[in-house]
Amino acid sequence: MIHNAVAGKPLPVYGDGLNVRDWLYVGDHCAAIRTVLEHGRAGETYNIGGGAERTNLEVVRTLCRILGELKPGRDYVAQIEFVKDRAGHDRRYAIDATKTRRELGWTPAESFESGLERTVRWYLDNDAWLAAVTSKEYQRWISLNYAAVPSAA
């Protein structure tokens, strides 16, 4: 979405955009995994979630607002385009991270908004990386190095 928005491309939103997901900043996710590895009990399951349920449309609109502040000059919201929903698209994914918080004391350091802003800033500051990983050359390298290995059946 960030790449499309900056490039002036459509921002596709499935269906009515009201599908709900729980969002978590990547750095918080990594910190949670580390906490589970260091302090969790062997054999236990620990859910990791941000406690930040948002509709897909809310996420895209927030992204547009942040981009408008950080990279003004375009009406990002006007790029939102509703597209046909995927068959069987779940309406809501939710995570109950109560156990992880209660037993391990872990909570996200970033809010939904601050985590998304950090993510947008990262993409804006690393446009050379984005260009490299979206290039045909990189896609060829992926195909060569991560091609499916034939089974030994």
pLDDT in tens, 81-118: 999 998 988 999 999 999 999 999 999 999 999 999 99
Residue 10 has pLDDT above 70, yes or no: yes
CB 89, CB 19: distance < 8 Å:
yes
User: What pTM did the predictor assign?
Assistant: 0.85
Q: Is 108 exposed, middle or buried (0-12, 13-18, 19+ CB in 10 A)?
A: buried
The whole-angstrom separation of Cα 79 and Cα 92 is 24
> pLDDT tens, 22-58?
999 999 999 999 999 999 999 999 999 999 999 999 9
Which domains does the chain carry? Answer: 2-126 (3.40.50.720)
Element (H, E) at 68: helix 56-70
Task: Give residue 133's pLDDT band: very low, low, confident or very high (50, 70, 90).
Answer: confident
Q: Under DSSP, is residue 46 helix (H, G, I), strand (E, B) or coil?
A: coil
Mean pLDDT score, 117-123? 97
Task: Give residue 147's pLDDT band: very low, low, confident or very high (50, 70, 90).
Answer: confident
Q: What is the pLDDT at residue 149?
A: 62
